[in-house]
Each structure stands twice: as structure tokens, then as C-alpha cells.
Chains A and B, each alone.
Chain A
């Protein structure tokens, strides 16, 4: 019984990490209907950026992360206004191909710059610390912090979207870009800010990815797939749904892994396909797409 409970608990907490991966992807799709195939690689890039800052400036991981945050925001803004704004539109091929090309460029640039070695972020033993619960059940501090970070990011994004003028503008552009432009909203500028916010969320995801596990330049596409599955399971348009999607994916993976370690990824994908088969709009779809 404890083992089953432990598996599910680990899965739920793993879901927090997947929700962090997915939040940026969902945000970009929500605002500008763009599916960024380089999303996973941008998370890995953020992890290397944090590592690079920590190593060159001899800073702690948290301080390095705080420096990386505005850098990632700026990178997102430049990426969107300099490149992606030229390709988004009615045609879906151009943005897909461009972000796919970007994904290949990023992976190989990181491979050249940082080698194929696995790296990880370290921070004074917090990675291995755990809190004892009842019945010998224990909960890792890092997974718990990851989950709490996911909740915090989602609350913050919801506040941004529903409580600020910027959020109103985001939603207006999302609902009807033409009318939003008529109301004086500079949508290109807004898309730049949205991508900046998404990459800042990527930096948060990267911090926890790097503290929890090893990373190398090739793992980006895998993270994109997890993010995508969490978004689709949760239903497009709801960030809390994305968290639920991440949790379902995480639980499916840990249950699969507890049966046979080779089945971890497969179990996650199968959960995704089952949801697709029975509830194609996800579990918490928005009323109107």
C-alpha cells in the first residue's frame, strides 16, 4: 500500500515539473497560436545558461537563476520580434518549419559549445533532502519545491492574464487580433513580450530540471513532447488544466516505471493517447476554441 501511495505521490510531484515545461508552451499557443517546436531546447538552453553563470561568476544556483531570468526574457523578446513575428500567420508550415530549424540549430550549438556530457545544477544538498511523512513514506524536498513552483508560476500567469492591462491585451489579441489592432494594440510588440514571459518560465523549468536530474544538449525534444502531452491532456486554454495534465502524465510514468523501468516513457505516451481517444479536447477544455 505504501509503495503504491509512494508511486502516485512521486508521479504527482513529477507532474509539477511537466507543468512547468508546459506552461510556456501553453502561453505561447494561447496568445499567438504558435506551437514552438524549439520549446524543449530553449528549456535546456536556459539550464546551460544558469550553469554558465554559476560557473563563470562563481555564484550559487539561485542567484544565477535570478540573473538568467531577465536574460531569457530578453532572448524571447528578440527571438519573437526578430524572427518568429515574420512567420506567424494563417499558414502553419512556416512557423513549424522555423521553430523546427531553430530546434536543430540550438541542439547542435549546445552540443558544440557544451559537449555531449551530462551536466546538472547543484545546490548544497537540497537535491537529496527529504521530509518524512507517515508510515515511512518520505517526500523529496526538491520534487515538492518543483510542484510548489509550478503552482506559483500558474498563479502568477493567471494573475498576469486576468488582473493586468497587459493580460487584457494578451487575451484581446488571442480572441480577435484584427479588432485588437483596431483598438490600438501593437500585437507584434505584445507577441515579443509573451515570448519573453514564456522563456522566463522556461528558465524556472530549467532550474528545477537541472536540480532534479542530469541534462545534456539532446534532451530538448523529449521535454517538448512531455510539455505537449500535458497541454493536450489538460485541454487547451486552461493553465490549471495543464497542471492536471502534467500530473496525469507524471503519475502514468511513475506507475509504468514501477512495473518495468523501460516502460516509463511508454506509459506516459499511452496515457496521452488514451485521453486523446476518449476526450480529444482534453480534460478541462475552454468553452470555445
Chain B
């Protein structure tokens, strides 16, 4: 217990910049929500790509950046989510919007037993293990003849242009079904990307986030203060499978056509995500946002060069890893001490004296860990 003569502390994460960023984000979200009324289909489709890749990048970053679980197999859950969407909508007749959430939930459910297998591998071997899992899912789904087997299948009209959400939008805005569908996909992608950032940010600021930081800094020491490293990592693995599954479901709702090779593509769903997170800055929430914009610009300019473009992307990733391992945002944040989404907890001395009841030690988990002798 503290005695009243000791200096008082509060634990703070907020900074003036982050307060400005919070208001800025709110304004940006309002603007993005209104975007379909201001911009054409081309912009919406580009934004759909950016937002879905951002969601994937946030979830991969949660795994690799914050938990040290470097996965080369996130395409396992993107593809699984995508196939589950097709299964829910075509086979069970579920509304596509509900099916996205259900697909993510089932992907998470499958990730749980999977984690017991891949967690037996450590470090770099874990990475290749996740890749094997993705291959297994791809080969298994290629055997599911009712979903098109190895050649794949397409979504029927009642799931795409005639879906309930699309009909509403058509009804309310008077837009053509094809345009309304782009709007629906865009808004869903926006919600997903915001939810991804919110979920990752919330998780990192919670008690579990503190546990993750402790594990990352010193796994054995974190165990000695009661952090169950394996359980925490398993939670992160399952959460990121949930996210990747929902994102995969939404991406393939928009594409409306699926095949095992495309849905479980290593390049599309893991290599690009890898690149986005590394170039933007791993283990930051801002990094993937910057990374996805940079990636989109590069892809827009160079993707017509095909294999030369991919070679350049690979070379750029290596150069960044060698010379700017913290990425664009990490380098900036370090130089200017910028944190738009602060998760670092700082102890601040409060000079007024008072009874211990006056001390605001929230958030509680921080108090728990830092408690005792300040």
C-alpha cells in the first residue's frame, strides 16, 4: 500500500497530439462515410482495395508486430473466410452481411484447434508451419465439389445485386444496382477497417495488450509476473484469424467469383500485407495506414509491369528491412516522438497531495502491473 507522503502517480497514455488525432480521425471517418455521394465508382473501388488491405495489415501486424508470431499463412484465413461466405450464402441462404460475420466467427473457431498444432513450432518454423496450414486448407477446399472444387464458383445474383443491403441502397439513393453494390461493399469495407483499427487499438490498451508488451520484451520474465504467454498468443492468433476471415469474406463478396488458387494466394494476402506493414512501420497502428497508401500508389504505377513489379516490391522490402527496419512511420515517430494512437503507458507525477482514494490509477490493468512500490 502507498503511504500519503509518497509521490503520486497517474498512468497516462494520451498525448496532446493523440487528442488532435482523435478529432481528426472522427472528421476523416465522417468524410469517408459520405464519400460515395461525392466520388465516382472508380474511387470507391480503389478505396475498397485500400480499406480491405488495411484491415488485413492491421490483423497481421497484431500477430507479427505486437505478438512476435510471424505468419506467412494469413491466406489460410482469408481463403477460409471467403469460402465460408460462399457456403453460408449459397448453401444456407444466409444474408451476405450476416454471412461475413459468421464466416469470421467460423474461421476463428477453426483457428483455435489449428493453433495447438502450429504453436508447437517456434519462431521461423512457426512461419512455415502457418504456410503449410494454408496449403492444407487450399487443397481441402479444392476437394469440395459443391463449391466448385479446383476450378471455383461464382455467387448468384440474389447474394450480389439483389442482396437486401444493396436493394435498400438502390431504394434510398436511386442508384443502379451495380453502383449500389459498390457503395454497399465500400461501406462494409469502411466499417471493417475502422473496426480492425478499433479492435487492435482496444486490445493493445487493455490488460491483454500490456501482457503482450511484457511477453514481447521478455517472455520468461512476463511468465514470472503471471502472464500466460501461450494463452495470450493464442487469443491474438484467433482474433487475427477472425479478422482475416471477415476481410476475406468481404473481398470475395465483392469479387463474387472464387477459386482455391486465388483465395489462398500467398502473394495477394500475405506478401502484399507483409510489404504494407514493413514499409509503413511494424508494431505501430499508424504504420499499416501509411503502408497501404504507399503500396496502393506503387501498385497503381507499376503493376502493369507484372513480374518486374513484383521483383521491385521484393527488393524494396529488403532495402527497407536493411536500412529502415522501423518503416516510414516508425522512423518518423522515433524522430519526432509522434504517437497518434498511443499505447505506451507513462507514469506522471501528480504534485497535489491527497488520500490514496484520489489517485486515479486507471486503466486498472496498468495499476495491477505497476502497483506496489512506485
Interface residues of A (CB under 8 A from B): 33-35, 37, 83, 86-87, 92-98, 100-105, 107-109, 111-112, 221, 224-225, 228-229, 232, 262, 265-266, 269-270, 272-273, 276-277, 280
Contacts and interface: CB of A to CB of B under 8 A. Distances in A.
Given A93-B70, A100-B271, A276 B311 contact: no
A224 B121 CA distance: 16
A37 B70 contact: no
Interface in B251-283: 266-267, 271, 274, 278, 282
16 contacts: A35-B123, A35-B124, A35-B127, A92-B70, A92-B123, A94-B325, A100-B271, A104-B267, A108-B308, A228-B132, A229-B132, A232-B121, A232-B129, A269-B139, A272-B132, A277-B117
Interface of B: 64, 68, 70, 72, 117, 120-121, 123-125, 127-129, 131-132, 135-136, 139-140, 142-143, 150, 266-267, 271, 274, 278, 282, 307-308, 310-311, 313-315, 317-318, 321-322, 325
B310 A225 contact: no
A92 B125 CA distance: 10
A107 B315 CA distance: 13
A245 to B, nearest CB: 13
Contacts of B271: 100, 104
Q: Which 8 A-B pairs have the closest CB atoms?
A: A35-B124, A108-B307, A280-B120, A104-B314, A101-B314, A105-B314, A101-B317, A266-B139
A225 B135 contact: yes
Nearest to A274: B117
A97 B317 contact: yes
B315 A101 contact: yes
B268 to A, nearest CB: 12
**B contact patch SS:** helix
B315 A96 contact: no
A107 B307 CA distance: 9
B311 A108 contact: yes
A100 B274 contact: yes
Looking at chain A's contact residues, the main secondary structure is helix
B132 A101 contact: no
A262 B314 contact: no
B308 A276 contact: no
B317 A276 contact: no
Contact of A93 (B64, B125, B135): B64
A7 B321 CA distance: 46
Given A35-B127, A102-B314, A104-B313, A97 B135 contact: no
